[in-house]
Structure 1
Amino acid sequence: MKFGQQLQQEIFPPWRLSYIQYDVLKSELKQRQLAHDWTDQDEQDFVELLESELDKVYDFVTAKLNEVEARISYCERTIQTFMNNPSWSSDQNWNVMDEALTEVLFDVNDLAKFTRLNYIGFQKILKKHDKWTGLNLTQGFVPQLRAKPLDKQRFDVAIVFISSLHDICRLQGKPRTGNAAAGGDQNAFERATAKYWIHPDNVTEVKSIIMLHLPVLIFNKDKRYEPSDSAISSVYFDNDDFDLYTGRLQRDEGAEAIRFRWYGPMASNSIFIERKTHHASWLDGASVKDRFRLNVEEVPRFISGELSADAYADQLRAKGTDEKTIEGNHFIAKGIQTSFNEKQLKPVLRAFYNRTAFQLPGDQRVRVSLDTDLTFIREDNLDGITRRGPREWRRPDVGIDYPFSYLEDRDILRFPYAVLETKLQTHLGQEPPEWLTKLVDSHLVHEVPRFSKYLHGACYFHRDRMPLLPWWLSEMAIDIHKPRSTNFGLTRSKSFKPLIDGQYRRAMEQEERRMSIVADKANAENKNDNNGRIFDRNDDDMVMSPSPFDDPLMSSATLSPTSRQEPMPRSSSAGNTLIGSPVHTPSLAKPPVEPWLQAPPPPVSSSSSPAPSVFMADEEQGLKKKKKKNKKAKEDMELQELGEPVQIDKGSLRLDMQDEEKKSKGMRRLLGDKGPMYIEDPNNKGSMIPIKKVKIDPKVFFSNERTLLSWLQFCALLLTVALSLLNLGQGTSRIAGGVFIGVGAVVAIYALYRFEKRAWMINNRVIGRYDDLWGPAVLCALLVGALIVNFYLRFG
């Protein structure tokens, strides 16, 4: 597909005028070429036009980003007010803020797509210019693109703050147990990993989807989050024969990968010495990653052997470190130093990326990381070019300033995709959450089993030395940008309202909660029927439908009623959660809600299937039956008022006239009254679900007036005939005229009565028949009767 067509298809309509005018630039380029040879004046005019478009796009992105930051700041201040004033901390207020943050998240996603699409547009038009004119404007336009960059992801900070505030709304200001830094110094990790590539167009959307289920993990919550906090740099070591590369590629028993890693800027003092081992012999064949920490000035001494493993253990012992940690770190340090001495390891490759990690603090069972701006940089001197000194273990001329424009092309490889990595502690029985399974099966990701950053970078720079190459190199030649085949992900309705997996967020959340309650009820009934038998995970009778907003480590089928009623114990302060706490669902901390109090499923639309009957719930009877849950019911009714409106097409909802006669007057209620209106759940006999009131279209009133005028026109015609018979006729004609006058008067009064009644029903939103069932039939009977009287008197 040509880029011009792609641009038109992917344009976000409300921002249409702010996109790059690609077709205009292309037309300008083509028309000048056809009119005459390209001149210096043409080049100057085209550059000015290009700069004008860049200014327009950049200013729009900057303004929108400032607007997003202002909205986030407003939400943060409002949430802080809720936390400081418990009287304002109601379910309704928390949900309003949660909805507001979701709206901001969608705008960030749209803005990221807008920026990406415009950046590609400028690259395309520059390339087309160079091809048609023979000039090199692509290189000459670099200063303008650096001054007003569109290629950098500038939305990570906003997503992190939204994640933090989103989590506080879920917890309703309550603190959560768990330390974000827990596991930061852990020296051994045993996890099952899977890796995926993500097209740059989908990066922000994938981040947003994960954020709705897992919080962005921030290790240091004492400082404000900065873009440099996500930077990770790793220097990989190997020898001249690339033995570690070959062992990892062939997955030999005990194959190692050794790297030195630091987080954040180059000034970071902590360097993590890491070793990945495939089928480690000391763990009964399990693959493991282990590591320990050194200060940056100690690294050269450790590589040379001046700082031995024993000396390092003595340092830890002097600091008061526990003996178990000392033994573990000593074992790792000794093994790595042995590999350095036996295999003559040297720095070979640096991998840089910005990582966004998603995880519950202190809980390693489920962890998802997303690496963007992945870049490979040469660290070796194998080609005769000196890139670092003999005592240096990393290049001093390279920082974390992506895209590293100052490096020569021979020293750098910018990976075109982001890398998604899922890590599950399957040895502890952890299964992948349902939402994660849906994500990795969607069009947004492309699975690449056993992808390795080191193997990819090393084979690129040293392909002539490699006897074997990774299998996924052939995948680089295909387009991993897949078309959207389902409603999964973040979309917008025709009215540009946010949709999650094709549904309004509130409707989806309430429906998932309703299904989880049904699952709990089914499990309880099954246990009673089987004398307390506990169902296995694979039992066919077990119903599981975890909410996409529930804790990702638990499903509704595994939660007891007690765990739903009582919040999990928490230790950290609420104030500390403003910048980086995890996501938790308020539904887990609430008692189960009766099915008849649940919110509606997705919007109702007309179909060929019979429409469910609608009736009004008797509030007094319902409250008498649910006295103990009166307070909870009231809160849920308030929540439902925040739901999206149900679009009711003609014929979608009807009033069952037979049931209406059987119902008491107390069961009938006007739509204008306070409280919800209920509809029978077709999937659950005997239970009801509420629906949202629909806004009245002004055309409904005009239709009512047109109906009245039609009846009055008929009356006027009838009265005209009657008056003619009275004034011009004699005897029998006058009697017939009098009968017609009576019929016309009755019809006019009846038409006025029906008009007023319909207007009252519309204003009060009464569910019922708006057509006239008996009026036309009675009118026909009166007219026929009048004609019979007239013929009888005339010819009888």
Structure 2
Amino acid sequence: MRFGKTLSDSIYPPWKDKYLQYDKIKKLLREDETSPQGRGGESGWTEQDEENFVHELTVTQLEKVHQHQVTTFNALRDRAAACEAKLPNQEAEDAGKSEDDLKDIAKETLKELDSISKELNELRKFSRVNYTGFLKAAKKHDRRRGLKYRVRPILQVRLAQTPFNQEDYSPLLFRLSAMYSWARQKLGEEDADTTDPATDARSKDTYKAYKYWVHVDNLLEVKTYILRRLPVLVYNPQSMKIVDSAQKDPTLTSIYFDNDKFDLYQGKVDKGTAGDSVRLRWTGQLGDKPEIVLEKKTVGEESESRDIRLTIKEKYVESFLKGEYKLEKQIQKLEDRLGSDAEEVKTFKANVEEIQSFIKDKGLEPVLRASYTRTAFQIPGDDRIRVSLDTDLAFIREDAFDSDRPCRDPEDWHRSDIDKEQLEYPFTSIKKGEISRFQHAVLEIKVKESKFTRNNTWLQDLMNSHLVKEEKKFSKFVHGVALLFEDYVNSFPFWLSDLETDIRRDPVTAFKEEQVREAKQAEDEMAVGSFLGTSKFSSSMKGKAGSPAKALERRISGNFSQSVQSPARPKPADQLQSTAEEPDSDDDGLQSGNQVDTQESGRGLRSYLPAFSNSRYARRRRQGTAWEDAPLPPGVKDPGNWIKDQGTLKVEAKVWLANQRTFVKWQHISVLLATLSLGLYNAAGVDNNIARILSLVYTAFAVFAGIWGWGIYLWRSKLITERSGKDFDNAIGPFVVSVGLACALILNFAFKYNAAIADHGHTGNSTVLGSMGRLTPTDIAQDMFVPEL
């Protein structure tokens, strides 16, 4: 039996004795008997056999599984509580906990939280696989013995009494999320964005969205995987003044508009993600008077989107859709506050007119309701990575196309039977043909295009794992219309066929498939490169990565990156991309200004010259000029004013103090050199011209150090106030002072040595050395600079 194999593969070794003994159940059922024995006679199946089977299934095995689930969950909850007890509060941190102590606590906490999360995932899998096993066993029993004995009703009663599969993990997940967030902050892995939150720059943000389906079996594992990196955003209803961490995830409702010809649906199916859409959206129950947002979204062919959002009260929605009400009250408030000629007022009026005209011209009306529960993951104040997970997704017809049996009152804008009675998922009172429940969860990942979010290993691991199935163009609106209005439309999205398949994958199989896919991609890149160049390209690639077959072999074995990538060589994919963008400039098959040449030449004398900084920051900035000056791809526009440069200037105090501290150091060197040069000049005497000249040289260096320090201080202050991305390093000043002083000291020693030779030349080298040995400390202090230091 295939489920037996599934059960054996799902066993978590430490709990192997706690699972349902499926083989024992099959033996008690006598499944191996050739005769069905279940069609009335039951000559071989006695009352004692039935009692033994029922007792083993509904008592012995069920109690064992339930007891383990309860015990383990309580233990995990206690371990989480113990972790919370170990975390210092704010008063303890301020009282004397050092930064190293806090980091040690954070590391231990992360290790324990990872262990708890792992066991929580295994516990969820344990509950689900055993629940399936009980249902499978009951179904098999009723099929063989169903005419006389039925065990399914008994099992349902016992499952209600021992609900091991209905444990709510959300409270524990919120606690784990809070502790993960604290530990990451202490370790410096989570740092909120310093952008002014009052600045609304959404129109200039560029996000790349990824959509996936998540099977219900993998739902908890995906949640725990994400919350290790991103905290859960806690929903706070408008009626609550205090945030409640135990608050449930919010239920979102969207009502989509279209006409009886489904023009908007057809446009989105034909153009992929491009097209227009109109919807009403709110959070929670409509009876709680939530904020209702009317949104019109237009997506262009090049993924350019434009959103118009208007906030409307429930009582004005119907009159607004009919064009009888144009939000005069909101417009009047804006005019009173900003003036009738304000640009914001004009824009608001234009948006109202555009939405009403679009609804009227297209003949739009509510046709589809989508209800779902959303769990959002995001670092507060940092919107570079936003993740949402929608569960309990249900699509409900909201149309009035059939005048005899309309789903919605034609004189109302929504179904009153749902909102007045405050129905919730699974909407059991809705007729079968009017509702479609989506069997998976929908995961959406939005990543802001910036240098801080281009390399997220954990995101890549999640998106390439067996836990999710990618559906790039999935749309709730399109999916709901395709399922509930199949008689009205003639085109369907491609992902509908995936609903008939099991999206779960074995982790090992998924990993192998990913390895093969990456190997195929590398092979394709090799092939594309061979088409772009001549034999010179082939010989160049052979010198770096070997033949494509060898590269493919290394890629599959997992050693591709280590064998190809080295500190002085670019990756083949990077070289292929640059080769495709720019023709070769010489006969070596490499481009001028190639990364290899730059790095190799940087190892020579140039790396020691002060013409440019050789710090990691400076090298990264110099390497970045290539892509900064590169032409933008189609559909991407230069924002002109960067988001980081918007809003009021906020510079941390440590930045100013660091600049001032550097200036003070320069002045300290200047004063020290000036003091030493003045002492040398006064002690030299009238006849010691060498010492007096060198003292003037040291004075010149002192003046240079003072002027240089002041100039660099002003220059760096200007870069800070302008939010410049230029390199702050400048090695010319230290280089001049260091080399100049070294030369002066060498000359000082040389002149003194020559003077000693001239005074005692008749005595030979030994006499010279002896004379030098007889120099008094006063003479050395007058003529030598090094001992004075």
TM range (shorter): 0.5 to 0.7
**Structure 2: unaligned runs, 5 residues or longer:** 513-565, 571-597, 627-649, 654-789
Report percent identity of matched pairs.
32
Q: What CA deviation, in whole Å up to 9, does each residue of 1:319-343 have, x standing for no partner? A: 8899676665554443332232222
Q: What CA deviation, in whole Å up to 9, does each residue of 1:294-335 have, x standing for no partner? A: 344443443344431444333555688996766655544433
Residues 349, 377 of structure 1: 8 Å contact kept: yes
Q: Aligned letter for 1:154?
A: D
- Which residue number in structure 1 is paired with residue 447 of structure 2? 424
- Which residue number in structure 1 is paired with residue 563 of structure 2? none
- Which residue number in structure 2 is paired with residue 473 of structure 1? 496
Partners in 1 of 2:305 and 2:227 — Cα distance? 29
Partners in 1 of 2:486 and 2:151 — Cα distance? 33
- Which residue number in structure 1 is paired with residue 137 of structure 2? 125
Residues 366, 413 of structure 2: 8 Å contact kept: no
Using a 3 Å threshold, how does the CA distance of structure 1 residues 387 and 129 change in structure 2: closer, same or farther? farther
Alignment of 1:383-532 (within 5 A): 384-389=404-409, 390-397=411-418, 399=422, 401-426=424-449, 431=454, 433-485=456-508, 528=607, 531-532=612-613
Measured after TM superposition, the shift of residue 241 of structure 1 is 1.6
Measured after TM superposition, the shift of residue 402 of structure 1 is 3.2
SS in 2 for 1:108: helix
Q: Aligned letter for 2:460?
A: T
Measured after TM superposition, the shift of residue 423 of structure 1 is 1.5
- Which residue number in structure 2 is paired with residue 250 of structure 1? 270
SS in 2 for 1:160: helix
Partners in 2 of 1:140 and 1:76 — Cα distance? 42
TM-score normalized with structure 1 length: 0.55
Residues 182, 361 of structure 1: 8 Å contact kept: no
- Which residue number in structure 2 is paired with residue 15 of structure 1? 15
Partners in 1 of 2:377 and 2:477 — Cα distance? 23
Measured after TM superposition, the shift of residue 46 of structure 1 is 5.8
Using a 3 Å threshold, how does the CA distance of structure 1 residues 181 and 422 change in structure 2: closer, same or farther? farther
Pairing 1:74–2:86 present: no
Select which of 184, 191, 212 maps to 1:196.
212
Pairing 1:343–2:351 present: no
Residues 235, 250 of structure 2: 8 Å contact kept: no
The structure that has the greater radius of gyration is 2
Alignment of 1:729-748 (within 5 A): none
Residues 192, 382 of structure 2: 8 Å contact kept: no
Partners in 1 of 2:379 and 2:332 — Cα distance? 34
Pairing 1:163–2:177 present: yes
Alignment of 1:744-759 (within 5 A): none
Q: What CA deviation, in whole Å up to 9, does each residue of 1:385-416 have, x standing for no partner? A: 44443324145336564333444432332222
Root-mean-square deviation (Å)? 4.6
Residues 366, 425 of structure 1: 8 Å contact kept: yes
Q: Aligned letter for 1:459?
A: A
Measured after TM superposition, the shift of residue 131 of structure 1 is 3.6
Using a 3 Å threshold, how does the CA distance of structure 1 residues 156 and 185 change in structure 2: closer, same or farther? farther
Partners in 2 of 1:254 and 1:541 — Cα distance? 33
Using a 3 Å threshold, how does the CA distance of structure 1 residues 222 and 111 change in structure 2: closer, same or farther? farther
Partners in 2 of 1:164 and 1:30 — Cα distance? 51
- Which residue number in structure 2 is paired with residue 109 of structure 1? 121
Partners in 2 of 1:373 and 1:78 — Cα distance? 36
Partners in 2 of 1:114 and 1:181 — Cα distance? 46
- Which residue number in structure 1 is paired with residue 375 of structure 2? 356
SS in 2 for 1:195: strand
Partners in 1 of 2:334 and 2:219 — Cα distance? 41
SS in 1 for 2:465: coil
SS in 1 for 2:229: coil
Partners in 1 of 2:121 and 2:437 — Cα distance? 23
Select which of 309, 332, 338 maps to 1:291.
309
SS in 1 for 2:355: helix
Partners in 1 of 2:128 and 2:333 — Cα distance? 50
Partners in 1 of 2:366 and 2:153 — Cα distance? 33
SS in 2 for 1:101: helix
Using a 3 Å threshold, how does the CA distance of structure 1 residues 121 and 450 change in structure 2: closer, same or farther? same
Q: Aligned letter for 1:111?
A: L
- Which residue number in structure 2 is paired with residue 787 of structure 1? none
Q: Aligned letter for 1:269?
A: P
SS in 1 for 2:502: coil
Q: What CA deviation, in whole Å up to 9, does each residue of 1:693-731 have, x standing for no partner? A: xxxxxxxxxxxxxxxxxxxxxxxxxxxxxxxxxxxxxxx
- Which residue number in structure 2 is paired with residue 232 of structure 1? 252
Residues 83, 173 of structure 1: 8 Å contact kept: no
Partners in 2 of 1:324 and 1:268 — Cα distance? 31
- The structure in which a higher percent of residues are helix is 2
- Which residue number in structure 1 is paired with residue 2 of structure 2? 2
Select which of 228, 232, 241 maps to 1:212.
228
Using a 3 Å threshold, how does the CA distance of structure 1 residues 289 and 10 change in structure 2: closer, same or farther? farther
Residues 387, 395 of structure 1: 8 Å contact kept: no
Residues 191, 423 of structure 1: 8 Å contact kept: yes
Residues 28, 49 of structure 2: 8 Å contact kept: no
Partners in 1 of 2:48 and 2:161 — Cα distance? 24
Select which of 284, 297, 305 maps to 1:276.
297
Measured after TM superposition, the shift of residue 51 of structure 1 is 4.1
Measured after TM superposition, the shift of residue 367 of structure 1 is 1.6
Using a 3 Å threshold, how does the CA distance of structure 1 residues 334 and 198 change in structure 2: closer, same or farther? same
Q: Aligned letter for 2:275?
A: A
Q: What CA deviation, in whole Å up to 9, does each residue of 1:158-182 have, x standing for no partner? A: 2232122111122239996569996
Using a 3 Å threshold, how does the CA distance of structure 1 residues 88 and 372 change in structure 2: closer, same or farther? same
Q: Aligned letter for 1:469?
A: F
Partners in 2 of 1:43 and 1:344 — Cα distance? 64
Q: Aligned letter for 1:201?
A: D
Using a 3 Å threshold, how does the CA distance of structure 1 residues 158 and 387 change in structure 2: closer, same or farther? farther
Select which of 69, 74, 79 maps to 1:61.
69
Q: Aligned letter for 2:12?
A: F
SS in 2 for 1:444: coil
Q: Aligned letter for 1:294?
A: I
Partners in 2 of 1:237 and 1:426 — Cα distance? 31
Measured after TM superposition, the shift of residue 152 of structure 1 is 5.7
Residues 191, 288 of structure 1: 8 Å contact kept: no
Measured after TM superposition, the shift of residue 219 of structure 1 is 5.0
- Which residue number in structure 2 is paired with residue 588 of structure 1? none
Measured after TM superposition, the shift of residue 58 of structure 1 is 4.3
- Which residue number in structure 1 is paired with residue 331 of structure 2? 313
Partners in 2 of 1:147 and 1:568 — Cα distance? 61
How many correspondences in the alignment?
A: 514
Alignment of 1:544-693 (within 5 A): none
Partners in 2 of 1:34 and 1:180 — Cα distance? 74
Q: Aligned letter for 2:358?
A: S
SS in 2 for 1:396: helix
* Higher RCO (C-alpha 8 Å, min separation 6): 1
Partners in 2 of 1:144 and 1:397 — Cα distance? 33
Partners in 2 of 1:328 and 1:34 — Cα distance? 78
- Which residue number in structure 2 is paired with residue 97 of structure 1? 109
Residues 424, 432 of structure 1: 8 Å contact kept: no
TM-score normalized with structure 2 length: 0.56
Measured after TM superposition, the shift of residue 287 of structure 1 is 1.9
Q: What CA deviation, in whole Å up to 9, does each residue of 1:712-757 have, x standing for no partner? A: xxxxxxxxxxxxxxxxxxxxxxxxxxxxxxxxxxxxxxxxxxxxxx
Q: Aligned letter for 1:356?
A: T
Partners in 2 of 1:40 and 1:336 — Cα distance? 72
Partners in 2 of 1:106 and 1:370 — Cα distance? 20
SS in 1 for 2:254: strand
